[in-house]
Amino acid sequence: MNGLHVLVVGSGGREHALAWALARSRSVEAVDAAPGNPGTARHGRRFPVPAADADALAALVAREGHDLVVIGPEAPLAAGVADRLRERDIAVFGPGAEGTRMESSKAFAKSFMEKHKIPTAGYRVVRTMVEAEEILERWGAPVVVKASGLAAGKGVTVAETLPAARRALEDCLRGGHGEAGRTVVLERMMVGEEVSVFVITDGERYKMLPVSQDHKRAFDGDRGPNTGGMGAYSPAPMFTDALRGQTEREIIRPALQGLRAEGIDFRGLLYAGLMLTPRGPRVVEFNARFGDPETQAVLPRLRVDWGELLFEAARGELDEEPLPEPERAASVCVVAATRDYPESSESGLAIRGVAEAEATGALVFHAGTETGDGGLVTAGGRVLGVTATADSLREAVSGAYAALDHIDFDGMRFRRDIAYRVL
């Protein structure tokens, strides 16, 4: 398999990391992106096609002759873009709308896990404050409040008190997250360490990638609001070989078997966010795509032919050979964000020092950037993901922060404690 022309759909840090990895693949001749960003443009062409415009994407693929489409974000997957492209016999890495319900509807995912006996937290689905109050009175606090639909990683509140739970519920049910919050999942609090497990699957066979741990809270010490992710590291040492085996037996295989049993053709990335509780791994959530920023930490550790791997999964032809051992022992990604992220973002701020950061040997993945009159400028809340790989986690942390010291834009903010749990 050689000479693949690949189209990466999306414009964030995850998509830049995917474009970077695909461009290093022997099987890949060209990597384009739609709409992409200045980072993806370093590996191929950018096309100004919206990620959720299935017809325009199909026309682009037909015109440019792409062999494989890799869809990064969850929104186009939930909108059925993969379905529309497959109807035109286009190879797509990413599940259809039905499979994406594992992420786009937390209510569906919880029901799915209950049906297929996949361990997760106790839960109730509510649509009114009256229903919610009845449960809160019985459960008490702490409690987790989740908007059922897609909320860009910001629809989850870990409420330590009942007043906090009520505020989060009212915010959801009164439209704070749009339609995504009209249905709310209340969950029992789970205690333990969280890890992110990525599984590439063709719907039947699968390959598990190295495990990572994300940092969702905005500020050091896991304080502040939830975000899309402020950094990640890999591996997660608390995820032992025994826990890996248990996760495959009790979560990954039952999930894939359950999807097949329900007639869902899931070709893409199944992402299991797990809580490692004293009773074993429990599912916090399922996602239907690569995580962000975990992808920026995981992919640089592996030397594999990503083009061949994703194409085989998209075609339903994944082999059963395990992935090779990671080339690098550890990696760390630190996200540089704008001043008030996640509440708001600032665009048009000049970004300085990217070339100097890359000169240290680090990778700088573009997330919320664009090209302005004077060069690179901000175009989102999460702006850059700075990744370093090394022979130890401590060295990778040092490398990422040393590179980040070279980067600057007005109001730049980042967490200074990524991987602190294990260091």
Mean pLDDT of 46-60: 95
Domain annotation covers residue 115: no
pLDDT at 37: 98
Does residue 310 share a domain with residue 206?
A: yes
Does residue 275 share a domain with residue 221?
A: yes
Mean pLDDT of 115-132: 94
- CATH number for 42: 3.40.50.20
Does residue 65 share a domain with residue 132?
A: no
Mean pLDDT of 184-196: 94
| Domain carrying residue 81 | 4-96
Does residue 53 share a domain with residue 154?
A: no
Does residue 310 share a domain with residue 196?
A: yes
- 332-380 pLDDT, tens digit each: 999 999 999 999 999 999 999 999 999 999 999 999 999 988 899 999 9
Give the count of domains, the chain: 4
> What distances in angstroms separate CA 292 from CA 10, 31, 108, 138, 214, one per listed residue?
12, 20, 23, 36, 9
pLDDT at 26: 96
pLDDT at 1: 65
Domain annotation covers residue 77: yes
The CA angle 268-269-273, to the nearest 5 degrees, is 155
Tokens of 73: 């974000």
Domain annotation covers residue 354: yes
pLDDT at 163: 93
- CATH number for 380: 3.90.600.10
Nearest to 334 by CA among 416, 410, 267, 411: 416
Does residue 210 share a domain with residue 296?
A: yes
Domain annotation covers residue 55: yes
> What distances in angstroms separate CA 199 from CA 264, 268, 270, 288, one per listed residue?
16, 8, 5, 10
Does residue 295 share a domain with residue 351?
A: no
Asked whether the bond before 142 is cis by omega within 30 degrees of 0, the reply is: yes
The dihedrals phi and psi of 115, each to the nearest 5 degrees, come to -65, -40
Provide the terminal-to-terminal Cα distance of the chain, rounded to the nearest Å: 42
Domain annotation covers residue 121: no
Does residue 148 share a domain with residue 198?
A: no
Mean pLDDT of the chain, nearest integer? 95
Tokens of 211: 């495990």
Domain annotation covers residue 111: no
Distance CA 415, CA 420 (A): 10
Mean pLDDT of 385-410: 98
Does residue 221 share a domain with residue 269?
A: yes
pLDDT at 263: 96
Does residue 258 share a domain with residue 200?
A: yes
Tokens of 21: 């990895």
Specify the residue for token string 């997760």: 120
> What is the pTM assigned to this prediction?
0.95
Nearest to 422 by CA among 400, 396, 387, 401: 396
Does residue 141 share a domain with residue 204?
A: no
Specify the residue for token string 């409420």: 159
Domain annotation covers residue 120: no
Domain annotation covers residue 396: yes
Does residue 299 share a domain with residue 395?
A: no
Distance CA 401, CA 407 (A): 10
pLDDT at 410 over 70: yes
Q: How confident is the model at residue 176 (pLDDT cuts 50, 70, 90)?
A: confident
- 229-259 pLDDT, tens digit each: 999 999 999 999 999 999 999 999 999 999 9
